[in-house]
Structure 1
Amino acid sequence: MVYPLGMIGIGIGLAYLAAFAAGGLLLRCGFPLPSSSGRIGRIDGLRGLLALSVMMHHFVIWMQATRLGGSWERPTVLFLENLGGGSVSIFFMITGFLFHRVALEGFHVSRMAALWVGRFFRLTPMVAASVVATCLIILWTQDYSIRPETVFTPLFSWVAALGQPPLLGHADSGRIDAYVLWSLKYEWAFYLFGLPLMAIAYDLLRGKAPNATLPLALIFGSLAMARLAALDWLAFPPLFAMGMLASEATKLEKARIWSSSRGGMLAASACLLAALACAPKPYGTPWDFLLGLFFASVACGNDVFGILRRRALLALGECSYGIYLFHGVILFVLFDFGAPALAALDTASLPLLLPLVAIVVVALTAATFIVIEKPGVAFGRAIIASFSSATPAMSEDKAIG
């Protein structure tokens, strides 16, 4: 396959700018930003860029599957492949970073139960909405089969993020949302198993070892196990652990000073670009450590020369979960339903549609945030408050996965 790399690069750059402009317009229209209390704006801004990067990665996959003679598979250009995989890796690090303090506080049944309730109402309503959108598209295509075995078990698997088997009997239903639900499986594994186990381990080791010991043990233990057993899931615990190490790094004054300096920002940006350009696959390689260094730098104060603090980008950060879940639906409509109209465009011009796609995705997901995601979070907080004295912020911390 020959990618029109120049036009893809232009399309990606314009799409970031278009999304940024859309974020600014959302703010002028009254889109709600969260209170700065307990939130780190740099990470909120980073989320918006990461979700958009995943969208651009899948746009390229659609191009190669429909116009470049390829199939629905990873792009052969490493940067375009890692634009998606690298972004998801950093999302996992954000999760580890945000919830490390929960593990440090030790294991408390009521607190863990409150966290699970908060996560359920934070994550699941939006997943359910994206699954409904997928079902509607399948019904519109008239390529479906409605029988108990094609409805109930697949629906449960999708909404619970256990897998994406054929939905309503539609053979390639996962392509409609770009198969994005796979990462939520690992998010839930972290919340349900990883976090409680880490909390118990901190209880056992309290006062006996530095806090960074456990994340480091998780990283090197996973790497050692991966050499003995070819298990795909072993690539992901180190990513959560790197986020936990970033949490510990924020306590170091020298790390904060360096990360906020011009030299620190340049070094962190170089780490990010090197990982995106050179990693032979998205997960489970030494290049993940460069992504970890970049994220730790952001956690410690690197706002990438002020970009991550821009309010328009913070608005995109609020929409990031929706962007991640719903961009695949928009791309499917464009490349499948819109195929007759796209036929009039030459392949090299297709990337110029990316800015328009970005605007549509941001507009749609801003609506889903207000109508579905924000009320879901509020409902979860209300339930937590009714049976627990857990901190409300527990249900407000955001991570995609």
Structure 2
Amino acid sequence: MDKGTHSQNRVERLDGLRFFLAFMVAMFHYMMCFSFFHGQGWSEDVNRAAYLVIINMGSLGVAIFFIISGYLFALVQPASWIKFYQKRICRIAPVFYLSSILCIFIAISLQKDNFNTDEFFNSLYFWLDMGVIGNKPPLFGLENAHLINAGVTWTLFWEWGFYFSLPIMCILRDKIGLMALITTILFICVYFISPSNQNQAVYISYFTIGALARKLPEKIQIPKSICNIGIVLTVLFMLAVADRVYNIVYLPIIALLFIFIAMGGDLFGLLKQKAFVRLGDASYSIYLLHGLAWYGMNKYIQVHEIVLGRTRYTLVSTVVLFVLLIFCTLTYQYIEKPFMALGRRKSPWLKQ
């Protein structure tokens, strides 16, 4: 989620975009959490017929987050890879630990009458691994503990995989060229990986599409008005027509969507509005913490046996959402920014 070294306009578009992506994921988990606490389980398949657009919103948000990472790091050439990973750790770890610690305290609170410390330390390791392993086991005997924060840290497993692959990717990029590398990876994903594991194929492809979108503006130009219309049409298609976002056949549509943004599309100025740009700064906090807000709200309603009609439930949820956004702007200001600055400092153990 770094901003990179692009022009101010490019940064503003990406930051504004990040807010909408985080919001889309939050709305998806809003629906899933409601379903979970009302006895329908945490299942996309159960809810797909009734809530296809909302489910596709969540998946599309994650897909574009992956593409942004590929876009930002396509041309990376760090002087020190140790320094690079130092910055990544300082960017990812602080809010990750905040989210995990809150999950642990909530699990303790919920399990106080049935406290089980078996395998606690083994479980704790996975909850404090910065998302590298991608596994979140039960806490204190609480099954589905990963749902306390909506299980969002699974995406960090793929982000770290991308970061760890970059040294090799950079060597190959410099040897055969970026476009040749992009073509090779996409070919492997489509024809060799997707037949056995379509999700893995599309996740890897998303990072690769980001690199493609970084390169294409050097070759072709599309008028901004066409880009904006293209964004609207591709988003509408992916939300309302596509049966499933994580489907290899829709890669060209998702690629077009982000390419339109990379070539100047800003949704008729919407992505550059200052309010959305500022909220986009806090998108990582919003992404990692929104599940706690929905889970806490629904658990409180359940424990206290509060009966809310649809209107009152929506009003309460809206208030919770606004509180969440305020809280996340504070975590960005007082947690994320200081640690990002720390990550840019010279490391005392490295030769400068």
**Could you state the TM-score of these two structures normalised by the residue count of structure 2?**
0.89
User: Equivalent of 1:83, from 57, 63, 73?
Assistant: 57
Amino acid at match of 1:73: S
State which of 9, 19, 31 in structure 2 corresponds to 1:48.
Answer: 19
Match of residue 268 from structure 2: 305
Query: Matched residues in 2 for 1:170 and 1:308: separation?
Result: 40
2:185 alignment partner, one of 218, 225, 228:
218
1:272 & 1:284 partners in 2: Cα distance?
Answer: 15
SS in 2 for 1:41: helix
Deviations 1:142-177 (A, max 9, x none): 346463721x22222123212111123321211100
> Take 2:219 and 2:319, find their aligned partners in 1: how far apart are those partners?
43
- Provide structure 1 residue ranges, at least 5 long, that are not aligned to the other structure: 1-33, 390-401
For these two proteins, the number of residue pairs brought into alignment is: 340
Partner of 1:197: 168
Q: Indicate conservation of the 8 Å contact 2:90/2:343, yes or no.
A: yes
Confirm whether residue 73 of structure 1 aligns to residue 40 of structure 2: no
Counterpart of 1:155 in structure 2 is 124
Deviation for aligned residue 1:39: 5.8
How far 1:227 moved relative to its partner?
A: 4.6
Q: Is residue 95 from structure 1 mapped to residue 69 from structure 2 by the alignment? A: yes
Residue from 135, 138, 141 that aligns with 2:107: 138
Percent identical pairs in the alignment equals 28
Q: Supply the distance in 2 between the matched residues of 1:114 and 1:98 (Cα, whole angstroms).
A: 17
Q: For the Cα contact (< 8 Å) 2:111–2:142, is it kept in 1?
A: no
The 1:38–1:46 alpha-carbon spacing in structure 2 relative to 1, beyond 3 Å, is closer
Which of 90, 93, 97 aligns to 1:124? It is 93
Return closer, same or farther for 1:269/1:385 CA change in 2, 3 Å cut-off: farther
Q: Distance in 2 between matches of 1:219 and 1:366?
A: 37
Structure-1 separation of matches of 2:274 and 2:351: 34
Judge which range, 330-339 or 278-287, deviates more: 278-287
Contact kept? 1:322, 1:365, Cα under 8 Å: yes
Q: Secondary structure at the match of 1:270?
A: helix
Structure 1 residue 348 displacement after superposition? 5.9
Deviations for 1:2-21, whole angstroms, at most 9, x for unmatched residues? xxxxxxxxxxxxxxxxxxxx
For 2:69 and 2:22, locate their aligned partners in 1 and report how far apart those are by CA, in whole Å.
14
TM-score with structure 1 setting the length: 0.78
Give 1:1-400 correspondences, 5 Å limit. Answer: 40-67=11-38, 69-74=39-44, 75-76=47-48, 77-102=51-76, 105=77, 110-143=79-112, 145=115, 147=117, 149-150=119-120, 152-160=121-129, 161=131, 162=133, 163-193=135-165, 195-206=166-177, 211-230=178-197, 232-252=199-219, 254-255=221-222, 258=223, 260-261=224-225, 263-339=226-302, 343-347=306-310, 350-384=313-347, 387=350
Which letter does structure 1 place at the counterpart of 2:251? D
**Contact 2:234-2:254 within 8 A present in 1 as well:** yes
Superimposed CA distance per residue, residues 274-313 of structure 1 (whole angstroms, 9 cap, x where no aligned partner):
0122232232332233122111111211110100001100
Query: Where does structure 2 lack aligned partners over 5 or more consecutive residues?
Result: none
**Residue 236 of structure 1 contacts residue 284 of structure 1 at CA under 8 Å; is this kept in 2?**
no
Amino acid at match of 1:241: T
Kindly indicate whether the alpha-carbon contact (under 8 Å) linking 1:177 and 1:325 is maintained by their aligned counterparts in 2.
yes
Change beyond 3 A, Cα 1:223–1:329: same
| Preserved CA contact (<8 Å) 1:45 1:313 | yes
Q: 2:274 corresponds to which letter in structure 1?
A: R
How far the C-alpha of 1:70 sits from its partner, in A, is 1.6
Q: CA 1:165 to 1:383, structure 2 compared with 1: closer, same or farther past 3 Å? A: farther
